[in-house]
């Protein structure tokens, strides 16, 4: 792997700072990636949910590795900023498959991955992280491994023990090779501050309506803020509103805020 890829990973690492958290509006296709880049994003992140929904599948390891990697490859080729890929649990039942996914991520030119534990035992994600790190090393390059802890997102365990369990998992994942820890499902300021204080690598949280602003999250110690599936959900909500407007009132008012046709066409032409 070229030094250029390693340099891109280093630049991506440097974007993780609470002084100015890395803000990621997750996308699922090239048009979205170009729009986000044009808006001034320092990096692009994919959303497995968005990719899956666009292909008519539910989120949650129902997406094939081939389809996920095809999306990552198209997106990485279309933008000039670093791309990090949501690979769910690694797209495979064993460690060899996870390593294969990581090799494809690197080949696509992406600089990082999100890999999640879900309801699996923490030991399984730790092993997957170690396999992912080894696969990147074997390619002669680096990769930013962002370990997603789903204790809060899925409400795992007793609520009174959740912070302790989350920190224990996070430390285990860092020991296994994680460069960052992603804890979606948390908006409480005290909990976020405790997570940032207890996790020795950059903390990533998922934001949306009701969450603190990016600047406020940075003040709490957060280094990376993601919108997750939120942008895809908003886009599909817009499609539903337009359809309902058309079919119930016969009007088209919901289309008024659409991206200008020529602007989008030009943006995609310039990216080819």
For residue 165, being part of any structural domain is answered with yes
For residues 135-150, average pLDDT: 97
Binning pLDDT at 50, 70 and 90, where does residue 3 land?
low
User: Does residue 158 form part of some domain?
Assistant: yes
Widest pairwise Cα distance in the chain: 59
Q: pLDDT > 90: what percent of the chain?
A: 96
Average pLDDT over residues 200-213: 97
Q: How many domains does the chain have?
A: 1
Alpha carbon distance 160, 10 (integer Å): 38
CA distance 39 to 31: 12
Q: Can you give the CATH number for the domain in which 177 is found?
A: 3.20.20.60
**DSSP per-residue codes, 174-222:** HHTT-SEEE-TT---HHHHHHHHHH-SS-EEEE--TTSPPHHHHHHTT-
pLDDT greater than 70 at residue 2: no
Structure tokens at 207: 């934001």
Query: Quick check: 212 pLDDT over 90?
Result: yes
pLDDT at res. 241? 97
Cβ-proximal residues to 122 (8 Å cutoff; 6+ apart), any chain: 168, 169, 172, 173
DSSP state for residue 30 in the 8-state scheme = H
* Cβ atoms 21, 52 nearer than 8 A: no
- With 60 as the cut, is the pLDDT of residue 27 above it? yes
**CA geometry: angle 248, 250, 256, nearest 5 deg:** 110
Within-domain flag for 244: no
Q: Among positive and negative, which fits the CA dihedral 10, 16, 19, 20?
A: positive
Stronger pLDDT, 270 or 59, i.e. the higher one: 59
Q: What is the pLDDT of residue 186?
A: 96
The length of the chain, given as a count of residues: 272
Residue 250 resides in a domain:
no
Quote the pTM value.
0.95
Residue 22 placed within a domain:
yes
User: Is residue 71 one of the residues assigned to a domain?
Assistant: yes
Contact, 211 vs 228, CB < 8 A? no
Per-residue model confidence (pLDDT) at position 272: 54
First to last CA, the chain: 24
Considering the domain boundaries, does residue 262 fall inside one?
A: no
Q: What pLDDT is attached to residue 1? A: 53
What does the pLDDT look like over 74-131, one tens digit per residue?
Answer: 999 999 999 999 999 999 999 999 999 999 999 999 999 999 999 999 999 999 999 9
Tokens of 211: 């969450």
The CA–CA distances, whole Å, from 51 to 16, 68, 115, 119, 158 equal 25, 7, 16, 22, 32
Residue at 240 is within a domain: no
* Mean local confidence (pLDDT), 47-56: 97
Provide mean pLDDT across the span 257-261: 94
- Residue 270: pLDDT band with limits 50, 70, 90: confident
As a whole number, the mean pLDDT across the chain is 96
Which strands form 22-24's sheet, in the order they lie side by side?
A: 22-24, 224-226, 203-206, 180-182, 144-148, 112-116, 83-86, 44-45
Domain that holds residue 153: 3-233
Task: Say whether pLDDT at 67 is over 70.
Answer: yes
106 and 87 Cβ atoms separated by less than 8 Å:
no
Locate 29 and state its tokens.
Answer: 């296709």
Token duo for residue 242: 């337009």
């Amino acid at each position: 792997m070229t030094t250029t890829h390693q340099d891109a990973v280093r630049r991506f690492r440097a974007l993780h700072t609470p002084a100015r958290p890395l803000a990621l509006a997750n996308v699922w296709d090239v048009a979205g990636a170009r729009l986000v880049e044009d808006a001034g994003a320092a990096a692009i992140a994919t959303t497995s949910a968005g990719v899956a929904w666009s292909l008519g599948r539910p989120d949650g390891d129902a997406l094939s590795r081939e389809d996920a990697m095809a999306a990552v490859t198209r997106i990485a080729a279309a933008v000039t900023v670093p791309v990090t890929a949501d690979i769910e649990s690694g797209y495979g039942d064993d460690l060899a498959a996870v390593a294969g996914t990581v090799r494809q991520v690197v080949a696509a030119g992406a600089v990082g991955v999100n890999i999640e534990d879900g309801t699996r035992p923490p030991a399984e994600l730790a092993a997957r992280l170690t396999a992912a790190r080894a696969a990147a090393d074997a390619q002669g390059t680096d990769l930013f491994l962002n370990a997603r802890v789903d204790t809060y997102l899925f409400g795992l365990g007793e609520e009174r023990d959740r912070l302790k369990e989350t920190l224990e998992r996070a430390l285990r994942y860092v020991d296994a090779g994680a460069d960052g820890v992603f804890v979606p499902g948390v908006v409480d300021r005290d909990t976020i501050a405790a997570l940032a204080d207890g996790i020795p690598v950059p903390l990533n949280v998922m934001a949306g309506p009701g969450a603190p602003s990016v600047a406020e999250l940075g003040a709490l110690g957060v280094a990376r803020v993601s919108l997750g599936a939120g942008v895809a959900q908003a886009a599909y909500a817009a499609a539903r509103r337009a359809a309902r407007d058309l079919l119930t009132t016969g009007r088209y008012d919901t289309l008024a805020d659409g991206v200008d046709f020529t602007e989008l066409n030009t943006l995609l032409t310039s990216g080819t």
